[in-house]
Amino acid sequence: MFWKRPSPKISVSGVHDLALRGVSHIISINDPDRAPPREVLQSDAEVLVLKFSDTFESLAGSDPPTLQHLQAVKAFIEEERQQIRRVHVHCKVGTSRSTAVALLVMHLLEPQKSEAELVQMLKKVRRQAAPNPLIIRLMDQQEGTHFAEALSYT
């Protein structure tokens, strides 16, 4: 019996379960004071490094995700679209920041799918997905999507 990946173009993990085989592009999300994992830096894949905290709101003294981070993801995917075989998105744990950014990547790669369909696909890719609400709000604002609503029904 063969297992079919829900989305062959994306995978998600934390730093402790990186699986980079067959990956052509990596989005490495790190805490502001952390460097990307050695495996990412030694990979042959194209890499986008982002640094921001896993916070749900903009608080004084924090480094929250911003529209500029999402614009960097969008530019990376759009510039590399023709070369993409599989995009791997990781953060420290692989639950919040990476899964929210993965939704943006999935939306960019499969714009014909609804937000609800993409959320279901994400949950098959990363069962423990709990996308960062601030990233989702920013994405809905930037892209005109309704992921916050789609996530509230899952």
Query: Partners of 47 in the beta sheet?
Result: 26
Q: pLDDT in tens for each of the 154 residues of the chain?
A: 333 444 568 999 998 888 888 899 999 999 999 999 999 999 999 999 999 999 987 766 679 999 999 999 999 999 999 999 999 999 999 999 999 999 999 999 999 999 999 999 999 999 999 999 999 999 999 999 999 999 987 6
Q: 25: which DSSP letter? A: E
Domains of the chain and any CATH numbers: 10-152 (3.90.190.10)
Task: Please give the angle made by the CA atoms of 87, 88 and 90, to the nearest 5 degrees.
Answer: 145
